[in-house]
Chains A and B, each alone.
Chain A
Amino acid sequence: MKSSRFWAWATFTVGALYFFVPLIATLEFSLRMRRGEYSFDAYRVVFGDDRFQATFTYSVVVAILTILLGVLVVVPTAYWIRLRMPHLRPVVEFITLLPLIIPAIVIVFGYIRMYGSSSPLPFLATARGTDALLIIGYATLALPYMYRAVDTGLRTIDVRTLTEAAQILGAGWTTIISRVILPNVLIAVLSGAFLSFAIVIGEFTMASLLNRPAFGPYLQNIGANRAYEPAALAVLAFAITWACMSVIQILSRFAPKSANQPR
């Protein structure tokens, strides 16, 4: 047993080194902008950059709208599948897994060819339409995570009884979903939401190919042209991902006992 514990520590230490050295290196690099001493200059430059503020705000707004669209598409569907059409579950589950099979670059390639200005649905004809298409694309990317989170949440509540009780009290479908089901799976929905946020905030491929002024293409642009700012931005991106995952973990403590972790 002693030797196995030694190997366990050795494995863990080597792994920890691989994962912490890049973080330390990035942090160190981001502080090196001023010659000969450590400073937060790179961060000051980044935060003072108008394009940083503009693209970051843009991506935050897009991420929030993505989450709303995702909730709107996923929650009623997952609810209805559980309540009325369980036989469709394999089909719906398969569809929600498709974005893991079809690479994002292929999906957005399809959008560009299908929704051009001469098509019946000319999303790409206007900037607003392209924004909408980007949000839709992100909702598609987040679909596997969102659906799984919501479905896991629904598993822990008695959908049928809640629905019957609400109907006896005279509630319509909109009321049932928004005021009975949604509050009961709110923690699961929020977990999915924060995961979606972490995925969407720095996404590069779709935003870049749709030519939207999002945070991902901005990051890429800075990376190609600057030395120290990219490291500062990488530290920032890591902090955002970390924050999202921490929120998910804190939320999971409030979830009902039988709830599984999302994913």
Chain B
Amino acid sequence: MTNIATIEPGAVVKPAAPPSGSRPVRLPLQWLGVAPFFLFALLFLILPTGYLVLGAFQNTAGEWTFENIGLLFQPSIIAAYWISIRVSLASALLGALVGLAIAIAIVRGGLPSWVRSATMTFSGVASNFAGVPLAFAFLATLGRLGLVTVLLRDLFGFNLYATGFNILSFWGLTLTYLYFQIPLMVVIITPAIDGLKREWGEAAATLGATQWQYWRMVAIPVLWPSFLGTVILLFANAFGAIATAYALTGSSLNIVPILLYAQIRGDVLHNPHLGYALAFGMIVITGLANVFYIWFRSRSEKWLR
């Protein structure tokens, strides 16, 4: 990169000036500065993903086909996508609602300021506490020998597992995912609640609005886009997660990432290109979710300047 400096010393001084003395060589040289980044992104992000996407539309002979996409619609794979979507959606919606309630409580509830700073610090930690150790923590809590299970049995004579509850199930996994979903919601939504200006509340009160009317007609409409946007972010966050589910349930809960994991390890679908299609399906779902996220976010930023 030093060679740029020797070619055009001090050229940085007036980048906005009209390109009066500019030589045609200058333009490509500028790109040298970002070339390593684009090369990195191309080689290790875009091309590998593109390879799978193209592979999803080819058969083993290399001919173009929609057959793999069609094969995704067999009952066992549909079931995997369906349970993944349900777990992600349930943990995203519940996480967002509970996270919102906690955020409103610490910002607007008149609690002492240490409550807010402690909650924010803890949320930063818990939102990053995922993966295998999180599964261990919930097995120690709600597993068959977990503290809560044992306490409920010994103190109240209540057998949790007799009710049909199982940590290795849909609700068990959702409850576990909430441990990082709720804090993530708190971290993201708290600034949005801070953005609700005091004056809006005062103006509403001056006009005779009740607390409920203020929330229904001012606060909720303003928060709505960032709320929905965060729900989608949480959804994508849970949808791609595998480590927690794998450590918690082994392969007994058939969610898409675990199916894909088994496919990569041992071609359990007996068709490499169906594996590509499985990956493609995941990208489509998280990609769509993020398109909505970006859209909602651009709408919410309007209010939070």
Report if A and B associate in a common complex. Answer: yes
Which A residues lie at the B interface, using CB under 8 A?
1, 4-5, 7-9, 11-12, 15, 18-19, 21-26, 28-30, 73-74, 76-77, 80-81, 83-85, 88, 92, 95, 97-114, 121, 136-137, 140, 143, 160, 163-164, 167-168, 172-174, 195, 198-199, 202-205, 209, 216, 219-220, 223-224, 230-231, 233-234, 236-238, 241-242, 244-246, 248-249, 263
A contact residues around B45 at 8 Å (CB): 95, 98-99, 102, 107, 140, 143
Closest to A211 in B: B265
B contact residues around A241 at 8 Å (CB): 125, 128-129
B286–A103 CB distance below 8 A: yes
CA distance A107 to B15 in the complex (A): 38
B265–A209 CB distance below 8 A: yes
> Is B133 close to A, CB under 8 A?
yes
B contact residues around A80 at 8 Å (CB): 33-34
A29–B243 CB distance below 8 A: no
> Is B247 close to A, CB under 8 A?
yes
CA distance A224 to B250 in the complex (A): 8
Distance in angstroms from B253 CB to nearest chain A CB is 15
A contact residues around B4 at 8 Å (CB): 173
> Is B169 close to A, CB under 8 A?
no
Given A29-B146, A204-B242, 6 more pairs with CB closer than 8 A: A19-B182, A21-B148, A22-B140, A25-B140, A103-B257, A109-B52
Closest to B126 in A: A19
Which B residues lie at the A interface, using CB under 8 A?
1-2, 4-5, 9-10, 12-13, 15, 30, 33-34, 36-38, 40-41, 43-49, 51-52, 55, 98, 101-102, 104-106, 108-111, 115, 119, 121-122, 124-126, 128-129, 131-141, 145-148, 178-179, 182-183, 187, 211, 233, 236, 239-240, 242-243, 246-247, 250, 257, 260-261, 264-265, 275, 279, 282-283, 286-287, 290
Distance in angstroms from B266 CB to nearest chain A CB is 12
CA distance A15 to B246 in the complex (A): 26
B242–A15 CB distance below 8 A: no
CA distance A140 to B187 in the complex (A): 23
Asked, given contacts A8-B105, A22-B141, A245-B121, whether A101 binds B131 with beta carbons under 8 Å apart, the answer is no
Distance in angstroms from A87 CB to nearest chain B CB is 11
A contact residues around B104 at 8 Å (CB): 8, 11
Distance in angstroms from B285 CB to nearest chain A CB is 10
A contact residues around B135 at 8 Å (CB): 223
Asked, given contacts A25-B147, A77-B37, whether A114 binds B140 with beta carbons under 8 Å apart, the answer is no
Interface SS of chain B: helix, strand, loop or mixed?
helix
A106–B282 CB distance below 8 A: yes
B contact residues around A25 at 8 Å (CB): 137, 140-141, 146-148
Interface pairs (28), CB distance under 8 Å: A5-B110, A15-B101, A19-B122, A19-B126, A28-B140, A30-B140, A84-B12, A85-B34, A95-B37, A95-B38, A105-B264, A108-B264, A109-B260, A111-B44, A172-B5, A203-B131, A203-B243, A204-B131, A204-B243, A216-B132, A219-B247, A224-B250, A234-B137, A234-B140, A237-B133, A238-B125, A245-B124, A248-B124
B contact residues around A108 at 8 Å (CB): 264
A contact residues around B129 at 8 Å (CB): 237-238, 241
Asked, given contacts A22-B179, A109-B260, A231-B140, whether A12 binds B128 with beta carbons under 8 Å apart, the answer is no
* Residue of B36, B183, B286 touching A76 (CB-CB under 8 A): B36
B124–A77 CB distance below 8 A: no
B contact residues around A103 at 8 Å (CB): 239-240, 242, 257, 282-283, 286
Distance in angstroms from A218 CB to nearest chain B CB is 9
Asked, given contacts A205-B242, A209-B261, whether A231 binds B136 with beta carbons under 8 Å apart, the answer is yes
* Residue of B101, B136, B257 touching A233 (CB-CB under 8 A): B136
A73–B40 CB distance below 8 A: yes
A1–B110 CB distance below 8 A: yes
B48–A4 CB distance below 8 A: no
Most chain A C-beta atoms within 10 Å of own C-beta, residue among B55, B132, B138, B260: B132
CA distance A18 to B246 in the complex (A): 22
B264–A112 CB distance below 8 A: yes
B136–A26 CB distance below 8 A: yes
A contact residues around B287 at 8 Å (CB): 101
A172–B2 CB distance below 8 A: yes
Distance in angstroms from A52 CB to nearest chain B CB is 14
B contact residues around A112 at 8 Å (CB): 264
* Residue of A30, A107, A230, A231 touching B48 (CB-CB under 8 A): A107
CA distance A73 to B45 in the complex (A): 14
CA distance A246 to B1 in the complex (A): 37
A contact residues around B38 at 8 Å (CB): 95
